[in-house]
Structure 1
Amino acid sequence: MDKWIGKVAVVTGASAGIGAEIVKDFAKNGITVVALARRASKIEDNVKDFPAEYGKVHARSCDITNLQSIKDTFDWIEQQLGSVNILVNNAGMGRKATILTENSEVDKQFADIINTNFTGLVHVTRHAYLLMKKSDDYSMIININSVAGHNVPFFKEGQLSNVYHGTKHAVTATTEILRQELIALKNDKIRVSSLSPGIVQTDFFTTGKYLPENLRMKDLAPALDPSDISNVILYLLQLPYHVNITEVTVRPVLEAFSLIMDKWQGKTAVVTGASVGIGAEIVKDLARNGINVVGLARRPEIIEEYAKEINGSGYGKIYAYKCDVSSLDSIKETFKWIEDKFGVINILVNNAGIGKKTTILNDNHEVDNHFTDIINTNFTGLVHVTRHAYLLMKKSEDFCKIINICSITGHNVMSFMNNFEGQEANVYHGTKHAVKATTEILRQELIALKNDKIRVSSISPGIVETDFFRAGNFISEDGQIKDVSPALNSSDISNVILVFATNSISCQYYGSDH
């Protein structure tokens, strides 16, 4: 966090809950904070006992449903502080009511929700951006969204969230629009992310009349603490400047756990597609953190070669094992060996994946085998590997983690590179959409099984500099994808895996790097 010391952050909805926690953590890390809320006095009470070495907190009264209040606030920031480096759009509200009610009082309530959660966010973001442009330094916009911004659950008792889901879906779309606008402006110094929590223990549910004053949400359902959300924001800020995680979903499970990698030392991890690229980086990073790693690949000799620099160095040990994840028999034989050798598994990273540049509507019958290989490697193999790993995880009395390396193509259909003439990704997108859905199915199955010790996450990278594009004939054998398009490094994805492993067991992440 040293790179942010002395920088200026603006936090909306800063008087209580998540916002108050963010203000405290920012100040603790030496950041100058402009904390905005309708109740500035509440902010002043919160920060009055902060140690002198903390960054300064400026408590400002600002009603983000009022455009003039926003303008006045940012005029003051410009005059007093000059620029803005971090914006956290945290202000949000809800109200228990239906849209199709005959009670006319809800008209104002709905307008307040929309103006706070969406319109105000847009205005605040635009005015913050104008000051970010004045800085020659890197900047970050983080929108506190919600799982309600990604789906609308059906309640048999009736839907009482009215326009709230609509505003959060709007935040999801607007975050992506902002990212695309920054690309069009060729602005690589400002990153934008959406952070979507599940249930968090704040006063949201009581002020919105979802619960009576004397009842806490965590008494009814698993709930995150505001500090969990603030910790994720600190993580986003610590990432290298060229890494932009545009969506993180954080959900509670049932148990609190350690925040350090020490908890995994001596445990056993399995990584598929471990010979090169992302898989190789993950194997090495896990081993460096004291984890015994079984690296699976069709070419285990490559794993054995890079394992020489790790094994015998006081780290965890790397075991190379030949496994073709497109073959069920190979998977069964592999996990029988793992069971005999280790007994249990604690971490599974489903990383194996392939693609091939061609079209589905192709006259060349050779593509039939290509498509079968892609589907069996990317999807069918992942399912079989996960099931057999789960059977060994069940034997463990400890917490376990399943991480599926998905892709942004699992969320929408796009060309890998803008210069494609037509769509040549064929079944690859379908396999990644299948991985995204299967990750959620696994999560729901674990809930049905009342298994709170196994977590499952999906990470969806954008373009990563690996041999995927060369092996799939998307680019020439001597080409590099970063010569064609901005690209992440394999180590960036491995770093995200480590963060998923280190964070509290009460948090469930669904990351999207692009």
Structure 2
Amino acid sequence: MDRWAGKVAVVTGASAGIGAAIAESLVEAGVQVVGLARRLERLEALAASLKGTPGKLYPRQCDVRKEEELLDAFKWVKAELGGVDILVNNAGIGKHKKIIEDDVDSFRSILEVNVLAMAIGIREAVASMKSRNVEGYIININSVLGHASSPRTNYPTSIYAPSKYAVTSLTETVRQELAVDPQNKIKITSISPGLVKTEITAGIPNVDKIFETVPYLEPKNIAEAILYVLGTRSAVQVTELTIYPAAKRLQNNHKNIQTIIRIEDENSFTRDCLGTLKINGEVYTNKTKQGHESLIREGHDRDLGECKNRSHDVENSRRSSCSGTKIRKTFQEVRRVVTKHMVTFKNRRVMDRWAGKIAVVTGASAGIGAAIAESLVEAGVQVVGLARRLEKLEALTASLKGTPGKLYPRKCDVRKEEELLDAFKWVKAEFGGVDILVNNAGISNSKKIIDDNVDSFRGILEVNVLAMAIATREAIASMKSRDVEGHIVNINSIRGHPGSPNPNFPTSMYIPSKFAVTAMTETVRQELAADSNNKIRITSISPGFTKTDIVQASNVPNADNFFESIPHLDAKDIANATLYVLGARNIVQVTELTIRPIGQLLD
């Protein structure tokens, strides 16, 4: 989030619920936030509670239904702060009535708040960003009801679901409008939560009892998602992030886990001394070992994601156990480094709970699979990497020596059922079972379906679909038999979702196979959700063009020069997305994360 520090964000509906949580998180990350809402007194109370944080909240009364008030707000931002860099379209309303029984005023209000105000806000924000030629970000708070799912008829919401379908289309339409400009620096994301405990549910009869019996998200979970998408590198655009509550609200089990925050500046503290920082009453110590400094929290009774550590709370920082030795850098510089890392992981669960756990990653010898395996090992996970090319796995293993986790290379052709099953048997025998499965292995072919052969069809389906189904079945059986928290991550593709396939880039059965992955992920999610004691989550990550060797392997013409002329992601971007979904709180299930390179137009 460093590049957004000092920048200006506009958040609509910022007085309560999701909007207030987003505003708070952004201010704590150093952003200057203009909060818009009708209830000025609530905004002012929130602003007062955030005094002393790195950023600032500017409360401004605004009814987004009234065009002139919304336009005046953007004029004020331009006059007072220079313009907007981040827009979070959060304001939304619904009504607990069936469409066939609701009135026109209700229809009009829902459309004006949920769709029209969003369109106006986007237009004004994009104009501000373009006029100053700055990097910008627009985030639309959507809903799972804005996608292909059946609204629950026992909880009618009038035209709320249709309005959210409009938000889905609005987001993608604007993305494409921006993508045609090769100089575009503006990104746009739809975040689609499931049931969130906010005031918008107040009209539902017996709502308190409902929240006692069904899984739900908290507003801060959505704020965490926003920090993630804003924190992606400039070339990466998360276009859709869908979040459901997990079927079971798991208890935190992080006691006695040591949280470490790395210090980037080796000279932040004098070597061979023990410095301490006190933050929100919690003591952090700097212990030097072989020239590598880290801050280690004393007390380890809460994970870092639960602590609201703010830079202004740091006190008594200049104490040192080394008599006569002074900290070389000023406290403000030390605090800056510490705050940077706290903000990065604040309000979301870090990877601590997966340290020492067992992950299986298919297709781990190169590309996305290798990047994911490397990131997991560096996070302390014990990773079993499966691939046909054992020598590449062994080379990757050697490069990761000395990291917190370990990579175990195992030769496996996932097309061969017996090899895949043997791999899971080996994991059980050696480690007790699997806790994380990353279904990454995938192949393609640069031929049209009407020109390709049966062996190619079979190969794509066996690797991309059948092997995934087998591995998912085996992993879930392992997780359930040990009654452990588990996570399945399916590496999908944007071509596994409705859109226009690029006619200049045929891929045989690859697209149908990825549609099958989309359906499989949702089917398994629903199968797991039927069990109230379920602890297993499943996620589809759907990247756009990613620079990997699948292009060469698919016999694409001019493969070596393929990525020179088109926007693309790096494998590390997908690994970062994987760490995000694994690191989300265990009540949060990211069901779909769609990620494109900024500027990608055709799928």
Q: Same fold (TM over 0.5)?
A: yes
1:173 aligns with 2:169: yes
Distance 1:386 1:406 in 2: 14
- Which of the residues 448, 459, 467 maps onto 2:530? 448
Q: Who is 1:186 aligned against?
A: 182
Q: In the TM superposition, what is the alpha-carbon distance from 1:137 to its structure 2 partner?
A: 2.8
1:107 aligns with 2:104: yes
CA 1:402–1:451 in structure 2 vs 1: closer, same or farther (change >3 Å)? Answer: farther
CA 1:348–1:161 in structure 2 vs 1: closer, same or farther (change >3 Å)? Answer: same
Q: In the TM superposition, what is the alpha-carbon distance from 1:51 to its structure 2 partner?
A: 2.7
Q: In the TM superposition, what is the alpha-carbon distance from 1:496 to its structure 2 partner?
A: 0.6
- Which of the residues 499, 506, 510 maps onto 2:587? 506
Matches within 5 A, 1:109-508: 109-153=106-150, 155=152, 157=154, 160-206=156-202, 209-211=203-205, 215=208, 217-253=210-246, 254-256=248-250, 257=252, 259-311=349-401, 313-362=402-451, 367-416=453-502, 420=504, 424-477=506-559, 479-508=560-589
Unaligned runs of 5+ in 1: none
Aligned length: 498
Q: Who is 2:297 aligned against?
A: none
CA 1:152–1:324 in structure 2 vs 1: closer, same or farther (change >3 Å)? Answer: closer
Q: In the TM superposition, what is the alpha-carbon distance from 1:426 to its structure 2 partner?
A: 2.0
Distance 2:396 2:389 in 1: 12
Please tell me the root mean square deviation across aligned C-alpha atoms, in Å: 1.7
Letter in 1 for 2:161: H
Q: In the TM superposition, what is the alpha-carbon distance from 1:87 to its structure 2 partner?
A: 0.3
Q: In the TM superposition, what is the alpha-carbon distance from 1:134 to its structure 2 partner?
A: 2.8
Q: Who is 2:275 aligned against?
A: none
Q: In the TM superposition, what is the alpha-carbon distance from 1:413 to its structure 2 partner?
A: 5.0
Distance 1:154 1:226 in 2: 21
Distance 1:413 1:326 in 2: 29
Q: In the TM superposition, what is the alpha-carbon distance from 1:155 to its structure 2 partner?
A: 4.1
Letter in 2 for 1:324: D
Distance 2:149 2:574 in 1: 30
Q: For structure 1, which segment, 35-44 or 385-394, has the greater mean C-alpha deviation from structure 2 after superposition?
A: 385-394
Q: Give the alignment's TM-score, normalised by structure 2.
A: 0.80
**Equivalent residues of 2:50, 2:57 under 8 A apart:** no
Q: Who is 2:96 aligned against?
A: 96
**Equivalent residues of 1:83, 1:134 under 8 A apart:** no
Query: 1:184-241: per-residue Cα shift (whole Å, max 9, x none)?
Result: 23343110000000011111111xx2235x8365224211111111111011111101
Q: In the TM superposition, what is the alpha-carbon distance from 1:136 to its structure 2 partner?
A: 3.5
**Equivalent residues of 1:265, 1:290 under 8 A apart:** yes
**Equivalent residues of 1:117, 1:167 under 8 A apart:** yes
**Equivalent residues of 2:377, 2:403 under 8 A apart:** no
**Equivalent residues of 2:50, 2:56 under 8 A apart:** no
**Equivalent residues of 1:11, 1:35 under 8 A apart:** yes
User: Aligned to 1:133, what secondary structure does the other structure show?
Assistant: helix
Unaligned runs of 5+ in 2: 253-302, 304-348, 597-603
Query: 1:442-470: per-residue Cα shift (whole Å, max 9, x none)?
Result: 11111223342110000000000001111
Distance 2:172 2:457 in 1: 31
Letter in 2 for 1:189: K
User: Aligned to 2:558, what secondary structure does the other structure show?
Assistant: coil
Q: In the TM superposition, what is the alpha-carbon distance from 1:396 to its structure 2 partner?
A: 2.8
Letter in 2 for 1:425: T
**Equivalent residues of 1:85, 1:135 under 8 A apart:** no
Distance 2:143 2:429 in 1: 43
Distance 2:39 2:57 in 1: 15
Letter in 2 for 1:496: A
CA 1:332–1:215 in structure 2 vs 1: closer, same or farther (change >3 Å)? Answer: closer
Query: 1:297-338: per-residue Cα shift (whole Å, max 9, x none)?
Result: 111111001210213x14211111111111111112221222
Question: Could you tell me the percent identity over the aligned residues?
Answer: 38
Q: In the TM superposition, what is the alpha-carbon distance from 1:484 to its structure 2 partner?
A: 3.1
Q: Who is 2:265 aligned against?
A: none
Query: 1:399-431: per-residue Cα shift (whole Å, max 9, x none)?
Result: 111000000000035445x6x1xx622211100
User: Aligned to 2:546, what secondary structure does the other structure show?
Assistant: coil
Q: For structure 1, which segment, 285-294 or 217-226, has the greater mean C-alpha deviation from structure 2 after superposition?
A: 217-226
Letter in 2 for 1:138: E
CA 1:397–1:137 in structure 2 vs 1: closer, same or farther (change >3 Å)? Answer: same
Distance 1:449 1:324 in 2: 33
Q: Who is 1:79 aligned against?
A: 79
